[in-house]
Amino acid sequence: MICSCSYITSLGGKEAHMNERTGIVTMKGNPLTLVGNEVNVGDAAPEFEVVSNDLSTVGFSSFRGKVCIISSVPSLDTPVCDTETRRFNDEAARLSPDVVLLTVSMDLPFAQKRWCGAAGVTRVQTLSDHRDASFGTSYGVLVKELRLLARAVFVVDRNGIIQYVQLVKEITQEPDYDAVVTAVSKLV
């Protein structure tokens, strides 16, 4: 059963009204609760602030004018997230230079930097949402039970409009890469 509720929470020292949605994603078949508002195709991409590997704050607005693939993963230190991010790194070589690939997780920036170096990932920018869960709550992919992000892919056009959303039902499975690349190819 899918349930949508709302509650008040404190994120990053700020009290915020957040929606909760259950029954949308699972982990090993067990239902999880997503926190934040659902985003849909045609919506303006919500602004968010995350932390880059050099510990600087990055706002999503800094990517305006580019086509963005935003891949949300639970943790780079898991096999599926590792495979997914490496695959998007490989796909980046075949995409237009006007396409930016972002992978957002709750991993600390230090762990992301270490992982990128060990994996040889240079075309995907990893960003940490650990501080405020700004991305997770803005895009409705923060998993309440785990304080990790659900597996999802968003494609945002040059004007900041969401053109594609893929929320992976089972968090332990990979996304449909071909569908993402097809969505991006229509924008470049």
Q: Report, as residue numbers or ranges, the catalytic residues.
A: 81
- In DSSP terms, 5 is beta-bridged to 20
Give me the count of residues in the chain. Answer: 188
Strands, sheet with 124-128, edge to edge from the N-terminal-most edge strand: 57-59, 49-52, 124-128, 99-105, 67-72, 152-156, 162-167
SS3 content of the chain, % helix, strand, coil (to 5): 25, 40, 40
Q: Are 152 and 13 in contact (CB under 8 A)?
A: no
